[in-house]
């Protein structure tokens, strides 16, 4: 089945912006694009955490419905497919359901190597400590969205800058996505440092 959207459709200017010093023109907000897509962005500070902790959350700790619900109460079910490898989410797909507003949305999120779209040789200079690149599809397998989660280490901990593209979305879709993402990542920023230290004592 032909995909409508892939990670290779991420605009080059956005990829460059994520590696540049400072911030872009839209760090939290949305735009309705002329090609049946909506673009949304969020920014979340993670005091006392580093990008390696975020990578551990996605690659190791997030493994079942219980851990998925810890992240946000609107998450209802979660499982990885059989491509999941220890310590990384790259190459794997998480199959989940969550509420966005009043709608229960089933989705499959497949994670790809950041080098598919980024010049990863620039990550160290840009202080990028975690980068997640993913495509989002429905139960029918048709890709209807994609996102970037880019984490940059800072003096206070780290900061996560997220970019989303959705086919056929509306302003309400974008607002709901931003609200949900700010809630779930804001929650993660609060409990991740303690959780990481507790789970990795003596490691």
169 domain residue, yes or no: yes
Q: Tokens representing 194?
A: 């303690």
The total number of structural domains that make up the chain: 1
Closest CA to 57 of 7, 108, 116, 130: 130
75 domain residue, yes or no: yes
16 domain residue, yes or no: no
Whether 33 contacts 11, CB under 8 Å: no
Name which of 62-66, 98-102, 184-188 the model is least confident about. 98-102
The Cα–Cα gap between 156 and 103 comes to 36
The answer, yes or no, to whether residue 203 has pLDDT greater than 70, is no
CATH code, domain carrying 67? 3.30.530.20
The answer, yes or no, to whether residue 3 has pLDDT greater than 70, is no
- DSSP characters for 71-132? H-TTEEEEEE-TT-BTTB-TT-EEEEEEEETTEEEEEEEEEE-GGGTS-GGGHHHHTEEEEE
Whether 104 contacts 127, CB under 8 Å: no
Indicate the pTM of the whole model.
Answer: 0.95
2 domain residue, yes or no: no
Domain hosting 154: range is 30-199
Percent of the chain with pLDDT over 90: 90
7 domain residue, yes or no: no
156 domain residue, yes or no: yes
């Amino acid at each position: 089945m032909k995909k409508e959207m892939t990670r290779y459709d991420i605009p080059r200017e956005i990829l460059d912006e994520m590696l540049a010093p400072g911030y872009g023109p839209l760090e939290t907000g949305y735009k309705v694009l002329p090609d049946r897509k909506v673009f949304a962005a969020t920014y979340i500070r993670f005091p006392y955490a580093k990008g390696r902790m975020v990578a551990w959350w996605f690659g190791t700790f997030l493994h079942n419905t219980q851990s998925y619900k810890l992240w946000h109460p609107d998450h209802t079910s979660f499982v990885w497919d059989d491509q999941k490898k220890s310590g990384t989410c790259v190459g794997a797909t998480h199959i989940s359901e969550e509420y966005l507003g009043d709608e229960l949305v089933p989705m499959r999120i497949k994670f790809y190597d950041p080098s598919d779209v980024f010049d990863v040789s620039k990550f160290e200079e840009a202080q990028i400590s975690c980068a997640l690149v993913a495509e989002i599809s429905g139960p029918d397998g048709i890709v209807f969205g994609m996102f970037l989660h880019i984490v940059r280490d800072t003096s206070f901990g780290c900061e996560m800058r997220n970019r989303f593209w959705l086919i056929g979305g509306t302003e309400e879709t974008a607002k709901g996505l931003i609200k949900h993402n700010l809630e779930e990542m804001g929650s993660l920023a609060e409990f991740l440092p303690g959780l990481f230290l507790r789970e990795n004592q003596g490691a």
